Structure 1
Amino acid sequence: MKDTKTKNNFIHWMIRFLKGIFIGSGAILPGVSGGALAVVFGLYEPIIRFLANIRKDFLKNIFYFLPVGLGALSGIFILATPIHYGLKHYPVYILWAFIGAIIGTLPSLYREAGKKGRTSKHNILLILTAIISFTLLSYFNHQLNMEIPRNFFSWLLAGGIFASGLIIPGLSPSNFLIYFSLYQPLMAGIRGLDFSIILPVVLGAIVIILSLAKVMRSIMEKFYTTVFHFILGIVIASTAIIAPEHSLYTAFNGFNYFILLLIFLIGISLGYWMGNLEESFE
């Protein structure tokens, strides 16, 4: 009995670690929201509850979220280089793998959104949110582009933007960092362990997380079903927006499309598996 309990604890630890990797890698992938992935994996609500009242069950929560944090750091630091390389040399494959993974998690996210009941109005909200969000994101992707000086305060801002993607599901911090021309230097700083960049980013992230967590918890408690359908609409829009542009397919042949389809289906399977992973060990 004790061995079984130990084994189950280890399995749950590894599940949270894997989810953390996805959340961390999603946070640095343009168009993807770490917060939305936290929702998909059933971690968003407990994370917000913890951050909104850190002193309550502090040690218990620390031990619970430790593998998530370690996984997220692994996703950010370890995968920063391969993701950067992949987006530079094989963007179509990398983006469709992530699109597939997110699509695979949508059934579990839809179930989560309706956990406390839903009406036709919530489904209408979901559809309208997806359409409006896609329109706005398309506009920002093509119209918004500015460059700000790279200094301590700009990296504080980058950290705040980074954290906003966790607290506000569906918000892609990488997109906004690209708009401000901070994405590439931030990724370079992470890959090179440049602490003159990393430390202010972490500080800015902590400030935003502690400032917004209580607000989001209050909103979630009062409007749970509405908020989750709104989030699901944003997730759908932000997933559609990262689909590669037509110009990236110019050199593709039948074999390339076959590999792409295979990667996409593997992504869907992986996402579906991850979305239901926790339940299979309950």
Structure 2
Amino acid sequence: MKVWFFFSGVLMGIANVVPGVSGGTIAVLMGVYEKLIESVNSFFHGNSRSLKVLIPVGAGVLVGVFGIARFLEIFLSKYPVPTHFFFLGLIIVSFVKTKEYFSIKPVNIFFVLLGMFLIFMLHFSGETTAKESMFLLVLGGFVAATAMVVPGISGSLILLIFGVYDHVLYLVSHLIIGELLIFSIGVVAGILVSVKIMNFLLKRFREETYSFIGGMILASLYEVLPKKMNTNVVLPSVLSLVLSLTLGFFLLYIEKKLSVTQKL
């Protein structure tokens, strides 16, 4: 079980480095999302048993972020379209997983549309340019942590909107410790705020919350889908999509077998 949480954390860490892909979305896909929310909330209420989840997930996230940042920096520049199609497949499977938690009825459809509207509003707000500063690093850490908690919202995409994505990616891939510590202040604050909110919503408005999450995941497909494609990348992109769909549904199968959402 700990291995599954660690592996989930690795994938979440990788996802949070890629613009348009949410670590929270990957947590939904891996079946650890709700357990992770509960564990973080329990930890801040003094329940040490939650560390059985938080330590392996946290270690996995660190491995995923620091282990893949430099690799993605190079890989995305050389093979951007097939790489984005791979994550496209994971997002599709994530929506299938999320759909298990809510039924089709008018109120839930409304929240699906509301979730989609939020993501599209963020996208069409456009990027802003700003100088990297202490404040922007803290703010960037806050939104990145929020994205880890809220499926469908990509922290990296929001960093792009604020104009600090390249700087943060450079800090991670080249291990600039001082500024990364400043960035982590925002991360901790984002986790504290986001987890409290999501824990409340999942207990009081479970179906509506997952409907909203489903809408955000659906809209994030547009964020990841490449807007320009050459004919020479069509086949690699299709193969990449098929591979990610196969992997995603295989992970869903394994998750159901292990019943991760039912026990620590």
TM exceeding 0.5:
yes
- Find the residue that maps to 1:147 and give its secondary structure: coil
Point out the more displaced range, 118-127 or 180-189.
118-127
The counterpart of 1:276, out of the listed 253, 257, 260, is: 253
Tell me how far apart the structure 2 counterparts of residues 13 and 192 of structure 1 sit (CA, whole Å).
29
Q: Equivalences for 1:61-210 in 2 at 5 Å?
A: 61-111=50-100, 113-114=101-102, 118-125=103-110, 127-129=112-114, 131-133=116-118, 135-140=120-125, 144-210=126-192
1:66 deviation in Å? Answer: 1.8
Aligned to 1:261: 238
1:16 aligns with 2:1: no
Equivalent residue letter for 2:50: N
Once the 2 structures are TM-superposed, how far is the Cα of residue 56 of structure 1 from its aligned partner?
4.7
Question: Does the 8 A contact of 2:143 with 2:187 survive in 1?
Answer: yes
Change in 2 beyond 3 A, CA 1:277/1:105: farther
Distance 1:275 1:34 in 2: 16
TM-score by length of 1: 0.84
Question: Taking structure 1 as reference, are residues 75 and 121 closer, same or farther at Cα in structure 2, changes over 3 Å only?
Answer: same
| Counterpart code for 2:2 | W
Q: Structure 1 residues 146-155 or 218-227, which shifts more?
A: 146-155
User: Partner residue of 1:9?
Assistant: none
Q: Deviations over 1:78-103 (max 9, x none)?
A: 01111111211111011001101221
8 Å contact from structure 1 (residues 15, 277) kept in 2: no
- Using a 3 Å threshold, how does the CA distance of structure 1 residues 51 and 193 change in structure 2: closer, same or farther? same
Q: Partner of 2:25: helix, strand, or coil?
A: helix
Structure 2 counterpart of 1:39, from 28, 33, 36: 28
Contact 1:31 1:172 in 2 (8 A): yes
Match of 1:3 in 2: none
Residue 189 of structure 2 aligns to a residue whose secondary structure is: helix
- Aligned equivalents of 2:12, 2:252: Cα separation in 1: 13
Asked if 1:217 is matched to 2:217, the reply is: no
The structure-2 alpha-carbon separation of the partners of 1:202 and 1:259, relative to structure 1 and needing over 3 Å to count, comes to same
Contact kept in structure 2, 1:31 and 1:241, CA below 8 Å: yes
- Residues paired across the two proteins, number: 259
Deviations 1:15-64 (A, max 9, x none): 22221111111111101111222223222222222222325563321122
Q: Percent identity?
A: 25
Contact 1:25 1:76 in 2 (8 A): yes
Give the letter aligned to residue 192 of structure 1: H
Change (3 A) 1:122 1:25: farther
How far is the alpha carbon of 1:105 from its aligned partner? Answer: 3.2
TM-score, normalised via structure 2 length: 0.89
1:204/1:138 CA distance change after superposition, 3 Å? closer
SS in 2 for 1:128: helix
How far the C-alpha of 1:123 sits from its partner, in A, is: 5.0
Q: CA RMSD in A?
A: 2.0
* Displacement of 1:234: 0.5
Q: Which amino acid aligns with 2:12?
A: I
On the 8 A contact 2:17/2:156 being kept in 1, the answer is yes
Structure of larger gyration radius: 1
- Say if 1:163 and 1:205, in contact at 8 Å, map to a contact too: yes
Residue 252 of structure 2 aligns to a residue whose secondary structure is helix
Rounded Cα–Cα distance in structure 1 between residues aligned with 2:116 and 2:167: 32
Structure 1 unaligned segments of length 5 or more: list them. Answer: 1-11
**Comparing 165-174 with 182-191, which one deviates more in the overlay?**
165-174
The alpha-carbon distance between structure 1 residues 213 and 279, as it changes in their structure 2 partners (threshold 3 A), is same
List runs of 5+ in structure 2 lacking aligned partners: 260-264
SS in 1 for 2:37: helix
Separation of aligned partners in 1, 2:122 and 2:133:
27
